[in-house]
């Protein structure tokens, strides 16, 4: 059944857009002009979100409401769906910051001139197999080169799972410096850990300094020894105060907390069918740090070669990194790891490298 397409602008109804420009009279120049009588305006910030599924739209909506972009481009292979999502957001214009929202199916045309391109590749929520990986990389082959062609100076943020392997693939396909290709990694896992600890300690989650690192998923590592609140180490306090209770913070208990963190998304998906809002806020926090040059530290998936003892492979996995307008500006390379944590990171690097080699990139 064909669907009637309603106009999304007055120009689509035949009105000349140039007549609207004279609605307000222009004031005399203040002297800060470009020699042609017009004032210099800062270059608008453009964010492109490729993939208008639940995750992609949660990201777009959060970036929109937080005022992080002047233009948002939505790209999806379902033309009807992505237009519907665009109109749904445009209709809320009176309640939001002024943002130009465009949508369609043409990756190159729509993402051209992006400052940040966010890639969400849909896929079955199932165990990762080589066949599934190859299908997702095939989708990236259609997306990433087009983004790189139209936005050669952009930052590339991969949100799809398995994020570490797909971030590696996006890096290879883009030809970008590794510093400008990032995976969402364990940024959200770290938030889940911070929330659990914050609730137990009765503080705000933003006051808990805690990181999950390594391979995104079941093998992620919690950096227990570095967790602090207000400059005070948390683990030693919890072990001391719970020493005489039935629920002490021993190795088994810590592993139970880690499993609860990495299994958090699985529970959400089991209950509502998909996870979206938390990853939307997580990615928006990364976008803010990148686009506004905040120099904040986030655990994100990055090229980890040389940062993990005993690993010389070109693999992406999560480490705390300083993020700014140039992408990854620095990596926390002097982490204090236990022997078990270091061994887990090395095993993850080997596993990820095997996947990457199998893709033939």
Tell me the catalytic residues: 216
Angle at the Cα of 123 (from 162 to 135), degrees rounded to 5?
80
Q: Where are the beta strands (DSSP E) in the chain?
A: 46-50, 71-75, 100-104, 116-119, 155-158, 181-183, 208-209, 212-213, 221-222, 228-229, 232-233, 296-303, 316-324, 327-331
Whole-angstrom Cα distance, residue 169 to residue 164? 9
Whole-angstrom Cα distance, residue 94 to residue 11? 19
Count other Cβ atoms within 10 Å, centred on residue 97. Answer: 12
Query: In 3-state terms, the chain is what percent helix, strand and coil (to 5)?
Result: 45, 15, 40
Whole-angstrom Cα distance, residue 152 to residue 160? 21
Contact 325, 182 (CB under 8 A): no
DSSP secondary structure string for all residues of 200-228 = HHTS-GGGEE--EEBSSSTT-EE-GGG-E
Tell me the three state secondary structure of residue 1.
coil
Is the preceding peptide bond at 162 cis, omega within 30 degrees of 0? yes
DSSP secondary structure string for all residues of 134-166 = HHHHHHHHHHHHHHHHH-TT-EEEE-SSSHHHH
Tokens 């958090």, located at residue: 264
Q: Quote the tokens at residue 361.
A: 């990139």
């Amino acid at each position: 059944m064909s669907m009637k397409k309603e106009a999304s602008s007055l120009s689509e109804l035949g009105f000349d857009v140039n007549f609207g420009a004279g609605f307000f009279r222009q004031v005399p120049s203040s002297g800060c002009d470009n020699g042609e009588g017009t004032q210099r305006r800062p270059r608008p910030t453009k964010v492109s979100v490729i993939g208008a599924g639940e995750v992609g739209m949660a990201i777009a909506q959060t970036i929109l409401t937080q005022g992080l972009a002047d233009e948002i481009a939505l790209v999806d292979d379902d033309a009807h769906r992505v237009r519907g999502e665009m109109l749904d957001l445009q209709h809320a214009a009176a309640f939001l910051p002024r943002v130009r929202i465009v949508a369609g199916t043409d990756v190159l045309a729509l993402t051209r001139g992006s400052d940040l391109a966010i890639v969400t590749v849909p896929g079955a929520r199932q165990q990762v197999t080589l066949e599934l990986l190859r299908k997702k990389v095939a989708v990236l082959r259609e997306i990433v080169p087009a983004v790189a062609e139209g936005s050669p100076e952009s930052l590339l943020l991969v949100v799809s799972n398995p994020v570490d392997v797909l971030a590696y693939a996006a890096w290879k396909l883009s030809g970008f410096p590794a510093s400008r290709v990032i995976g969402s990694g364990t940024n959200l896992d770290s938030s889940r850990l911070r929330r659990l600890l914050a609730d137990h300690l009765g503080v705000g989650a933003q006051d808990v300094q805690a990181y999950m690192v390594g391979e995104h998923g079941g093998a992620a590592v919690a950096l227990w020894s570095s967790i602090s609140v207000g400059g005070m180490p948390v683990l030693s306090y919890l072990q001391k105060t719970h020493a005489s209770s039935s629920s002490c913070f021993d190795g088994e208990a810590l592993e139970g907390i880690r499993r609860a963190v990495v299994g958090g998304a699985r529970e959400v998906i089991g209950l509502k069918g998909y996870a979206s809002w938390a990853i939307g806020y997580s990615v928006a926090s990364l976008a803010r740090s990148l686009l506004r040059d905040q120099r904040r530290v986030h655990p994100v998936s990055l090229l980890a070669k040389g940062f993990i003892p005993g690993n010389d492979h070109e693999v992406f996995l999560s480490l705390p990194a300083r993020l700014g307008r140039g992408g990854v500006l620095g990596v926390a390379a002097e982490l204090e790891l236990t022997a078990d944590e270091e061994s887990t990171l090395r095993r993850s690097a080997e596993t990820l490298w095997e996947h990457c080699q199998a893709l033939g990139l």
